Chains A and B, each alone.
Chain A
Amino acid sequence: MRSAFVRTLVELASRDERILLLTGDLGYLALEPFIEAYPSRFFNCGVAEQNMAGMATGLAEAGFIPFIYSIVNFSVMRPFEFIRNGAVLHNLPVRVVGVGGGMAYGTNGATHYGLEDIALMRTQPTMTVIAPADRDQTGPALRATWNLPGPVFYRLGKDDRALVPGLEGRFEEGGLQVVRRGSDLTLLAAGSTAFETVRAADLLAEKGLEAQVVVVSQLNPTPPGLRALLAPFKLALTVEAHYITGGLGSLAAEVIADAGLGTRLVRCGVHSLPDGRTGSQAYLFHRHGMDGGSVAQAALSALQKGSLNAA
């Protein structure tokens, strides 16, 4: 996902000299194509993310489009007030790139999880929040949004192998992609959980339940089409590598409540504080109920259709 992002950024930078890339000393074996192509437009700001975010304000005010890059907790949480008072308050085209959204840096442990970054960024009125679901959607998502007038947050995963079936690199207006049609319930996924969410739909199909699967790649502003995709269903599940508060689950809850829909919502995501036990992203998804089997079971339980493993 990082490689696709950087490849696309190099392509855009060749067309627009306003694009700059700043990093907080991360991006080894990822950012090199940009550095080689545009050495004078790349700045390693050192391990100093607050200064990097503040500088982006000064650069963007003068007409540049600075991309600031780090692991999601260092690019969003550490300098959040600089982003709020800078890019957001001045409504400038700063691009915050956070790699490792969710639990992509699994074994690095809880300090390296990004479980509240969407919540933080989604509160900011001018901030567009984009979470590509796989490698092939990353380029199109960037091409569709890089030139927006206000700030953008790109939440990237790390997995380059798992491609979401049915997505085929689409990034549609508003960031909503229906990757599977169904009429019994709907599943909504953001970012790295999309692949497992489609797997959940496969498992539900084996039980005779047809689920609509929507990949939500824009989490702010609220995609205008979300209401229509939720309205026909009595049950919706959101699946995200994020705390269940503030992210996709909350977004869906807001849409349902604002529109007065009768849809029941089940939020799959991280429900409690990480307890110190860590592991791969796959392990953590299973542990926190975001893998395909857990999501399918959550749907069956909500529908009182018994157990996934029952005959």
Chain B
Amino acid sequence: MTTPPTLSPIEIRRIILSQSYRAHVGHIGSELSVVEILAALYGGAMHIPSPEDPDRDRLVLSKGHAALALYACLALRGWIPMEQLNTFTGDDTLLGVHPEKALRGVDFCSGSLGHGLSIGAGAALAARLQGSKRRVFVLVSDAECNEGSLWEGVMFAAQHKLSNLVVLVDLNGQQAFGYTRDVLDLSPLAARWQAFGWHAQEVPGHDPAAIQAAIQSCSSPAPHVIIARTTFGKGVSFMENLIKWHYWPLSEAEYQQAMAEIEAAA
């Protein structure tokens, strides 16, 4: 068996900061929040011999606004050229703010919250009907659990025991116009998924090894949810848990400071 690839969270953060600074766009806090989750998935947890392999594991990045973190993983895995990252949000690019299937390595278009779990449930059902061992991963935001359609998918997956479906919730406690506890409080989130018949685990969301271990332990007949406790804006002190970093781009001084903090943590 070949050694699974590992992805460096530091390298993903470097790409997120440098490309969002270059492109002068926001969503940085949401992207930094999922770095270790995606590093765990693309750094070993997902079985992807090539992005064209029909029997590869699938990912639905249902919180599509974190696409830059995904693009970083695709480039680090060598599926898109590193230079292509420099087209992020430019004219004629395949690397928009939200992912498009036309880009190599992207399994599904996303960007509208509440869609991804349904797509993932269909993909997981397809794998079962085809007798395939492939798995389907869906990365949702915590605020996305506000969407009623998400719970439609939760019910279907439990009813049909889609044990090849793994949902990861980025529990950063923050949404587009407030903190989740103030907008629509989701707690106790794991208990809610469990009540719907899911196998639920909570993990520290910035520990790729813990996330990979949680994925490895997904063997029950029920579908699986891994609630990853994360920090919005993780790794950049002035961004952490501040709503403005859902939107704001970086100034030059902020960029220098953010990069310095990332490098110091390396």
| Chain B residues within an 8 Å CB radius of A57 | 108, 118-119, 122
- A86 interfacial contact with B, CB 8 Å: yes
Pair B118/A53 contact, Cβ less than 8 Å: yes
Once the chains are docked, how many angstroms separate the CA of A82 from the CA of B147? 13
How far apart are B234's CB and chain A's nearest CB, in angstroms? 29
Pair A56/B122 contact, Cβ less than 8 Å: yes
| Chain A residues within an 8 Å CB radius of B54 | 62-63
Q: A interface, how many residues as a size bin? A: 20 to 34
Interface of A is mostly: helix
Pair A86/B149 contact, Cβ less than 8 Å: no
Pair B126/A51 contact, Cβ less than 8 Å: no
Pair B125/A58 contact, Cβ less than 8 Å: yes
- Interface residue from A40, A41, A58 paired with B122 (Cβ < 8 Å): A58
Q: B interface, how many residues as a size bin? A: 35 or more
Pair A85/B115 contact, Cβ less than 8 Å: yes
- A48 interfacial contact with B, CB 8 Å: yes
Pair A55/B109 contact, Cβ less than 8 Å: no
- B29 interfacial contact with A, CB 8 Å: no
Nearest B residue to A89 via CB reads: B109
Q: What does the 1/0 interface line of B114-129 toward A look like (CB < 8 Å)?
A: 1111111111111101
CB contact under 8 A between A50 and B112, given known A58-B126, A58-B136, A59-B125: no
Interface of B is mostly: helix
- A224 interfacial contact with B, CB 8 Å: no
Once the chains are docked, how many angstroms separate the CA of A53 from the CA of B149? 11
Question: Beyond the given A54-B118, A55-B122, could you list 10 further A-B residue pairs with CB under 8 A, ordered by the A residue number?
Answer: A50-B152, A51-B153, A54-B121, A55-B153, A58-B119, A58-B120, A59-B125, A59-B126, A62-B123, A85-B112
Q: Can you report 24 A-B residue pairs in the complex whose CB atoms are below 8 A from each other?
A: A40-B129, A43-B160, A48-B149, A48-B155, A50-B149, A51-B117, A51-B149, A54-B116, A54-B119, A54-B153, A55-B119, A55-B153, A55-B156, A57-B122, A58-B58, A58-B60, A58-B108, A58-B124, A59-B122, A59-B126, A62-B123, A62-B127, A63-B126, A81-B112
Residues of A within 8 A of B (CB): 20, 40-41, 43, 45-46, 48, 50-64, 66, 81-82, 85-86, 89-90
